[in-house]
Structures are given as C-alpha cells and as structure tokens.
C-alpha cells in the first residue's frame, strides 16, 4: 500500500479551515498533522512514497454529486454520457462520488431495474458511485422491493409527480410509497411538478403554434412546482417519511420547504447550478432552436421574478441543503433535435457534472456563500443526506482518501473544445469564466486528475452500499 502526504495546504471542512498536512495510507486518510510534522524524528516527507505540495491551495473533500443520470433512457433517446465518460468528466471537475438513478417503470420488477444499473456501471467508473432507485410504477411488488433494497445499500427512492405515462405516480401511490419509506427509514426524493396540469398547458401552447424551447418553460409555471411541493410536503407529513425535493427551481417552492423545515419537518431541498445562473429569458429564450440546450425539468425560471437570487439565499440560510447537477446530457444533433417544431419532444436534461464545484465556488468568490458552506453543499451534506458520511464528504482519519486540491488563484474557461470532457456536442456553460481551478483529484488514495491530465483508471470506481440518511432532524 502506498503512502501520500499532501503538504502546505489549507484543509477546508464544513465547519472550518486550518493549515494541515494530510497523510494518506492506501485508500484511507490516516492523519491530519501540524505542517512539517516528524515521525520518530524523521521528516515525514522523506518517508512517504509521494509528496504533493498544496501550498497556497485548498485541500477539500472530493465532491459528492447526489443526482446524475448516466445512460438514462429518456425522451425517445438515452443520456449521452456513459458511466465511463460521465464519471471521468465528474473527476475532472473535482467530484469523486456520484449517486445515479436506477430505473423501474410500471410493470417492471424493481430488482431488475437495479440489476441493469449495476451492469451498466460495474467496471466502468473512474470514481465511486451509488444508486438511488426510481420507482416509476408503485404496486405491491415495488413496495416490497423498497424494503429489500435497503439491505443492498439503496436507501432513497425517487417518485415523480410529473411525466404522466412515463414515471408519474398518483397521489395514492405516493402515499403508499411514503408509508413504506416511513417504515423502513428510506428517504423519498420527489420530482415536484404537477404533471397532468403541465400536459394540458403543453397541448394548449402547441395548438397555438407556440412550439419553440421557450414554451417548455412557460408551460411549466412556478405555480405547478409550488403546488406539487406543498402536496408532497403534506403527504410526507401525514406518513412520516423524510422528503428530499430534487431540482428545486422556483422561489415559491423553496418557501414551502422553508416553512415545513421551520415547523420541524424532515423536508430537504436540492437545487442545481442551472437554477442559480441560467434563466428562462436568456437561455430558453435564445434565438431559434438554441434554447433546446437548456430544456430541463423543473425548467429554468424568469430572472425578472428573482428566482436565482432566492436560490442563492436559500443555500446561504440552509433552506436548501444540497447542490447536485441533475446531470442528464443530450447532444443537439439527433437528440435535442427530436424536438424541432415541438418543444415537448426535446429530451429533458442539461450536462453539468464536470462543472458543479467550479460553478458553486463562484458563490464564494462573489460573497454569496462561505468557503466552508461551499464544501458543505457540494460534499459534506450530500454525503450525510445519503448515508455515506464518515467515508465520504470529510477529510478525517478513517475516511476514504477522496481529496481535491483546489487553486483559488487558478482560472477555468468553460467551453466546448476547451475544458470539456462530457460526451456532448455543446456545453450548456459555454463562455463561463471561473475564478479557481481543480488541480488535483484523488479517489480512494489513487491519483485521478493531476497536472492537466487524467491519471486514473476506468474500473477503479466502486459501488457504494449506502446507509440511511444521517441528516434527519
């Protein structure tokens, strides 16, 4: 087993920062030491196999992206990143763990859906990975499977109030799944949008000839996100299930979540970089078919209504606890183009897995969040929320040696053909200039990214059996 000493850096955690050297032995962190510590009189730097000088840089726990969709069949096509390309891109951006979504549809066995996801990922990942389970067809078998999956390390289940005919669950199905979760300790993840009402609006827009990507956003108004969020909170309250609302974009939905949290309920919110930076007017409203690049659900919201600023505020005040990407990439060619002339046929999703740490770090640069909060939102809380804390999300003795060395004085120009490793023919983040740079990424003690090169190995990433949430009130 090889040893590594990361010297001279500022180790940042969710609770503070300190000058410390980090000693790694094999796959684990074994000690945080006063800079320049000695062992039996010898300078540690002379006794370890590898020394990494992190002087002037931050040493942070590897990012945990708790919401990705590699190879997801959706919208008549499949998300364009495989587990190989997607986890490699994630590593380039300082993410060392993803939690992807295995899928069960109506009439299918949940266990078969999970087995399919294991087949897709096993041996193909550059970094560690876990799974949530989508329950797209709640029935007796599915409810029973939810109990079984807990023992297999799948401790969170996503339900959809949107996408009728695809993943949609009715309120009675949601109620029953939540009752099951309340019984076995699982977390219910909710896509909170009123799908049937959205479908009616979509049909009306199309009938009026309003077919461009802009109408994707207009047909999914914030009222239908707020309403669904409120309904999900009430059903969770009734049943006692912990509720984690995914990809929250509307300030009114966050207000519902904040009210529930203030009332002491186990309700949590995730938002994504797209809801912090991008908008209905600028991106979805781009000329021609360009806006298709940013078709995702929940949709980008109007900047004029102030949703983006409210999302930043929610991250600061802990009304929202996690930033994930909802990485679901599609190329323009042959994929997004399926919706030329009909926005409802554009596959929903944006690719961001590579840029989450950098994009959120701009919140530190701009004074919206602290350095510690950045680490908390991107690494520590997602690990706690989804039963990985102790191994992931922290630089402490005993934790996996998932470490990122981040240069606050570095610079990253995001753009297709520049810093782009996702399997897409465009970047949804084209032209974003980042103050900061992911210099070095270590996964379980193994160098993955260093000196501008991928030094990892496809197949290094292991499946993570997760425990129950460690973040409940």
Enumerate binding residues for ligand URP (CB under 6 A): 69, 191, 247, 296-297, 326, 328, 348-349
For 84, 427, 431, the CA distances from 80, given in Å and listed in that order, are 11, 13, 22
Return all residues near 201 (Cβ < 8 A) that are at least 6 apart: 218, 219, 220, 221
Give the interface size with Zn ion as a residue count (CB under 5 A). Answer: 2
Cβ at position 184, least distance to ligand URP in Å: 23
Cβ at position 283, least distance to ligand URP in Å: 13
Please state the separation of Cα 292 from the chain's center in Å: 21
466 binds, among ligand URP, Zn ion, none (CB under 5 to 8 A by kind): none
Cβ at position 389, least distance to ligand URP in Å: 24
Q: Name the residue with tokens 């986890």.
A: 87
348 binds, among ligand URP, Zn ion, none (CB under 5 to 8 A by kind): ligand URP
Query: Six-digit token pair at 33?
Result: 């030491």
Cβ at position 246, least distance to Zn ion in Å: 5
Say if residue 122 is exposed, middle or buried (CB neighbours under 10 Å; 0-12, 13-18, 19+): middle
| 405 vs 8: CA distance, rounded Å | 11
| 420 vs 430: CA distance, rounded Å | 10
Task: Please list every residue from 163 through 192 that binds Zn ion, using CB under 5 A.
Answer: 191
249 binds, among Zn ion, ligand URP, none (CB under 5 to 8 A by kind): none
439-451 core/surface letters (b: 16 or more CB in 10 A; e: else):
bbbbbbbbbbbee
Phi, psi of 184 (to 5 degrees): -105, 0
Q: Name the residue with tokens 């009304």.
A: 319
Binding span for Zn ion by CB under 5 A among 71-79, 205-213, 325-333, 413-421 = 325-333
- Kindly write out the interface string for residues 87-116 of this chain, putting x where it contacts Zn ion by CB under 5 A and - elsewhere: ------------------------------
Whichever of 21 and 65 has its CB closer to ligand URP, that residue is: 65
Which run of H or E residues covers position 288?
A: none
What ranges in 250-388 are assigned the alpha helix state H? 251-262, 273-277, 307-317, 356-365, 371-375, 381-385
Whichever of 195 and 436 has its CB closer to ligand URP, that residue is: 195
Measured from each CB, the residue nearest to ligand URP is 348
Asked if residues 123 and 436 have their Cβ atoms less than 8 Å apart, the reply is: no
| 75 vs 260: CA distance, rounded Å | 33
251 binds, among Zn ion, ligand URP, none (CB under 5 to 8 A by kind): none
Cβ at position 254, least distance to ligand URP in Å: 17
| 284 vs 291: CA distance, rounded Å | 4
Cβ at position 47, least distance to ligand URP in Å: 48
For position 220 contacting Zn ion by CB under 5 A, the verdict is no
Whichever of 7 and 352 has its CB closer to ligand URP, that residue is: 352
For position 120 contacting Zn ion by CB under 5 A, the verdict is no
What ranges in 56-208 are assigned the alpha helix state H? 83-92, 110-121, 140-150, 171-184, 195-207
For position 326 contacting Zn ion by CB under 5 A, the verdict is yes
469 binds, among Zn ion, ligand URP, none (CB under 5 to 8 A by kind): none
Whichever of 120 and 191 has its CB closer to ligand URP, that residue is: 191
Whichever of 382 and 456 has its CB closer to ligand URP, that residue is: 382
Cβ at position 27, least distance to ligand URP in Å: 31
Whichever of 272 and 394 has its CB closer to ligand URP, that residue is: 272
Measured from each CB, the residue nearest to Zn ion is 191
Residue among 44, 41, 19, 23 nearest 32 (CA): 23
Cβ at position 358, least distance to Zn ion in Å: 21
9 binds, among ligand URP, Zn ion, none (CB under 5 to 8 A by kind): none
Q: Give the binding site for Zn ion (CB under 5 A).
A: 191, 326
């Amino acid at each position: 087993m090889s040893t590594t000493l990361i010297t001279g850096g500022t180790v940042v955690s969710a609770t503070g920062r300190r000058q410390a050297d980090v000693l790694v032995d094999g796959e684990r962190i074994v000690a945080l030491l006063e800079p320049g510590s000695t062992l039996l009189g010898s300078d540690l730097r002379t006794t370890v196999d590898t020394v990494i000088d992190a002087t002037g840089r931050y040493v942070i726990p590897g990012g945990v992206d708790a919401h990705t969709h590699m190879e997801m069949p959706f919208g008549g096509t499949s998300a364009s990143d495989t587990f190989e390309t997607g986890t490699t891109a994630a590593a380039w951006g300082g993410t060392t763990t993803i939690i992807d979504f295995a899928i069960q549809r109506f009439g299918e066995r949940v266990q078969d859906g999970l087995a399919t996801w294991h087949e897709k990922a096993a041996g193909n990942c550059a970094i560690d990975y876990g799974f949530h389970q989508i329950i797209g067809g709640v029935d007796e078998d599915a409810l029973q499977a939810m109990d079984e999956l807990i023992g297999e390390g799948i401790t969170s289940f996503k339900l959809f109030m949107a996408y009728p005919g695809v993943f949609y669950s009715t309120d009675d199905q949601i109620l029953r799944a939540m009752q099951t979760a309340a019984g076995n300790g699982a977390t219910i993840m909710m896509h909170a949008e009123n799908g049937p009402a959205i479908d009616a609006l979509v049909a009306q827009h199309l009938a009026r000839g309003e077919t461009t990507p802009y109408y994707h956003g207009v047909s999914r108004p914030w009222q239908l996100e707020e309403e669904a969020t409120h309904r999900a909170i009430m059903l969770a309250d009734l049943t006692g299930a912990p509720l984690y609302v995914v990809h929250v974009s509307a300030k009114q939905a966050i207000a519902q979540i904040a009210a529930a949290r203030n009332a002491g309920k186990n309700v949590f919110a995730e938002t994504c970089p797209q809801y912090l930076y991008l908008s209905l007017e600028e991106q979805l409203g781009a000329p021609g078919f360009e806006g298709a690049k940013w078709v995702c659900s929940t949709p980008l919201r109007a900047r004029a209504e102030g949703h983006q600023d409210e999302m930043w505020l929610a991250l600061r005040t802990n009304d929202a606890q996690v930033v994930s990407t909802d990485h679901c990439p599609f190329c323009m060619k042959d994929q997004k183009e399926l919706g030329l002339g009909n926005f409802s046929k554009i596959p929903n999703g944006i690719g961001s897995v590579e840029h989450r740490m950098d994009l959120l770090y701009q919140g530190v640069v701009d004074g919206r969040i602290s350095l510690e909060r950045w680490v908390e939102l991107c690494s520590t809380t997602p690990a706690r929320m989804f039963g990985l804390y102790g191994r992931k999300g922290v630089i402490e003795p005993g934790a996996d040696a998932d470490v990122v060395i981040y240069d606050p004085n570095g610079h990253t120009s995001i753009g297709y053909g520049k810093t782009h490793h996702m399997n897409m023919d465009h970047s949804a983040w084209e032209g974003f200039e980042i103050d900061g740079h992911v210099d070095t990424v270590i996964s379980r003690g193994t160098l993955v990214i260093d000196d501008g090169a991928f030094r990892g190995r496809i197949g290094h990433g292991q499946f993570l059996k997760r425990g129950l949430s460690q973040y409940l009130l």
